[in-house]
Amino acid sequence: MSEQLPVVSLFSGAGGLDLAVERADAEPLSTADLGGGLLRVSVATDYNEPALQTLKANFRDTKTLTGDIRVVPTEEILAKAGLRAKEPVLVVGGPPCTPFSKSGFWLEQKRESRDPNASLLDEYVRVVRETQPEAFILENVQGLTYKTHKAQFERLLKGLGALGYNPQWKVLLAADYGVPQLRRRVFVVGRRDGQRFEFPEPTHSGWSEHSRTVDATKIPHVTAAQAFEGLPILSRASNDEIVDGNYGELAAEIPPGQNYLWHTERYGGRNHFEWRSRYWTFLLRLDPNRPSTTLQAQPGPWVGPFHWENVRTTSGQERARRLRVNEMLRLMSFPDDFKIAGTRADVQRQLGNAVPLELGKAVVRALMTQLGYLDREPASRSVAFA
């Protein structure tokens, strides 16, 4: 254990980045490979108790610290981990993304980038400044890079740059790294020695909402159907999985890969909705032959993606169904035995806010290779969800 390199995790949530850290040297897309233990998360912090319960259940050797980072001194974080400044090899974390998410744009203060939680970016810079790790990895939603949040993003980069870390940033598509999900996240990475970090090249390719260009030299995107292979087939859905109520019948009639637009005058369903009158995720069904769209952290009752197969209620009616926990784990490329604490809403929130494992691994692995701790990246790229 003493030979493992220590890592400080901030805003840890369900532990997506933490899992990526501890499995950075494992084979890609092999949930059975735990890696050789190059890195260890020494301390993980969060203010959300269900998230910390999840961390405790999955990272037994990691110390946890509950509290608002704005009032938790860096000295306390280091002391909890048994570390001093300059001893952590990495500081990793994703400050809560609500201020920068498109889903928050209905609030005026978020549209105008006045959300007080945006200051959490400054707290991340503070911890990096006071812990002086060899490198850091910060991740967030793509919205952080939008013009609306230009001042906050530039302040973040300037603050990290002033520490000598030469921060580099890039928006990465999870599906391009083997995750069966079209999820975009921005990563900011910097090294204490000031050397420029080079982001990992995609290993997979396929079309998305932004591009129809496919690189035939890369592995095709992992589809939702591939991700769900081997999962148990249940004969009956639980009540909280059934999409019922006002739009239950309409949702059941929508084909795989379609959304509420199916029920407009331009498509083959009922002419029930106005064209482009709702969010894209409204009544959205998964396409089994493509990666999933982004899993939502706090979806409303009619927000997908829902499974492409219907289920029957006790009265015999066909209804769409919500994704099960084991399916969401697969779409996040998490191991099947990953334990998540709390209610279904807690599970959805934790996974919806998490970093997909394989995406995080790709970034951590590239960084550790460039720092000289790994000789090369693992060669195997076979899909192995198990």
The residues assigned a catalytic role are 97
Cβ burial, residue 234 (10 Å; 0-12/13-18/19+): exposed
CB 366 within 8 A of CB 376: no
Q: Is the Cα torsion angle 326, 331, 336, 341 positive or negative in sign?
A: negative
User: What crossing angle do the helices spanning 74-81 and 120-131 adopt, rounded to 10°?
Assistant: 60
Q: How far is CA 229 from CA 78, 335, 338, in A?
A: 42, 14, 17
Q: Tokens 């500081």 map to which residue?
A: 91
Residue 305: cis peptide before it, omega within 30 degrees of 0: yes
What pairing do the DSSP bridges indicate for beta strands 5-10 and 90-93? parallel
Q: Tokens 């002419």 map to which residue?
A: 271
What pairing do the DSSP bridges indicate for beta strands 168-173 and 184-191? antiparallel
- Measure CA 93 to chain center: 11
363's tokens = 């970034």
CA distance 343 to 283: 23
CB 181 within 8 A of CB 352: no
Q: Tokens 């949930």 map to which residue?
A: 31
